[in-house]
Amino acid sequence: MTSFFNALPGAVAQGLIWGIMAIGVYITYKLLDIADLTVDGSFCTGAATCVVLVMAGNSVWVGLLGAALAGALAGLATGFFHTKCGIPAILSGILTQLGLWSVNLAIMGMKANLPMNVNNYKLLVSLRYLQEVQKGTRPFYQHPIFVVCLLTLAIIAVLYWFFGTELGSSIRATGANGNMARAQGINTNFNKVLGLALSNALVALSGALLCQYNGAADINMGRGAIVIGLASIIIGDVVFGKLFRNFGLKLLAVSIGAIIYYIVIQFVISTLSINTNYMKLISSLIVAVFLAVPYWQQTYTHKKQKEGKVC
């Protein structure tokens, strides 16, 4: 149990970082009604781009910006496959994701793992900083939780503003009812591409933060990201769905959902001493159950109605 509490700040920091990725997934999954599998690749694209840029002597902000742009390009590719080539959205995402594997390796100079020593670069977040703030050798405002919290709130504020604009509303309409959107003169294909680019920019930004936090970019770091994203959205919705009606608060719920997810994972790892290699299996099963619950509820009540037990 003590090991769990010791690891708690780290879990929260990681959850916050992944929360930004989950907010990106929220844009495609909830607003555009597209299950975009690009994220498994674009997460690493962000990390790789950031590490390479920072190690080339650029500031960490350039690294983050470059990562976001690279992610947006990945989203653009998926959007191109989907809207210009007529490939179903889910398959378009898979194609981009697969292609990104090579692209990511190329960015990292054909290395599967690219370490970045925290002592040699001025980073925004790092596990080392977290430990040093706890020891008192660093000021609190360099604590990863504090930094990523601020960043998350800034991102939520910008998204809240954007999706309230004429353009942002038209993206929401595209996902809510494509027929209606086109009848109202909205270019739904353009909006889908824009949404995919925006979403993957956030996903890549999250990857860029995680590689700083871990001190390395790894070719496998985005594997299963979509599942973590969905898990965060679902947990956020289950816990805060009734409470949070406002769009900004809904995004906040996604971020908190990611934190809860990582705390639970940390709890399982530290108390049940399960081999961490089983985590992906456990995660996918948990998400499957959460996705299935609404369906089960529906069929169950339907059956009851048929039997005449519920009027």
Partner 1 sequence: MLKLETVWKTFNPGTVNEKTALHGLNLHMQEGDFVTVIGGNGAGKSTMLNAIAGVFPVDSGKITIGGVDVTALPEYKRAKYIGRVFQDPMMGTAATMQIEENLALAARRGKPRTLRPGITKADREFYQEQLKILGLGLENRMTAKVGLLSGGQRQALTLLMATLQKPKLLLLDEHTAALDPKTAAKVLDATQRIVEKDHLTTLMITHNMRDAIAYGNRLIMMYDGQIVVDVSGEEKKNLTVEHLLNLFSQASGSDEVSDKMVLS
Among 5, 61, 140, 162, binds partner 1 (CB under 8 A): 162
Q: Which stretch binds partner 1 (CB under 8 A): 68-76, 142-150, 175-183, 213-221?
A: 175-183
- Residue 307 touches partner 1, criterion: CB under 8 A: no
Q: How far is CA 101 from CA 89, 130, 233, in A?
A: 19, 31, 26
- Residue 192 touches partner 1, criterion: CB under 8 A: no
What is the nearest approach in angstroms of partner 1 to the Cβ of residue 59? Answer: 28
Alpha carbons 169 and 82: distance in angstroms, whole number: 21
What is the nearest approach in angstroms of partner 1 to the Cβ of residue 175? Answer: 9
Nearest to partner 1 of 142, 187 (CB atom): 187
Give which of 246, 209, 230 is closest to 289, Cα–Cα: 230
Nearest to partner 1 of 158, 274 (CB atom): 158
What is the nearest approach in angstroms of partner 1 to the Cβ of residue 245? Answer: 10
Among 58, 142, 177, 284, binds partner 1 (CB under 8 A): 177
Among 98, 157, 176, 292, binds partner 1 (CB under 8 A): 176
38 neighbors 201 (Cβ within 8 angstroms)? no
H or E, element range at 213: helix 188-214
Residues in the chain, total: 311
For strands 216-218 and 113-115, give the pairing. antiparallel
- Residue 298 touches partner 1, criterion: CB under 8 A: no
Per-residue DSSP letter, 113: E
- Residue 142 touches partner 1, criterion: CB under 8 A: no
CB crowding 216-249: b at 16 or more within 10 Å, else e = bbbbebbbbbbbbbbbbbbbbbeebeeebeebbe
- Residue 253 touches partner 1, criterion: CB under 8 A: no
In the complex, the residues that contact partner 1 under the rule CB under 8 A are: 162, 164-170, 172-173, 176-177, 179-188
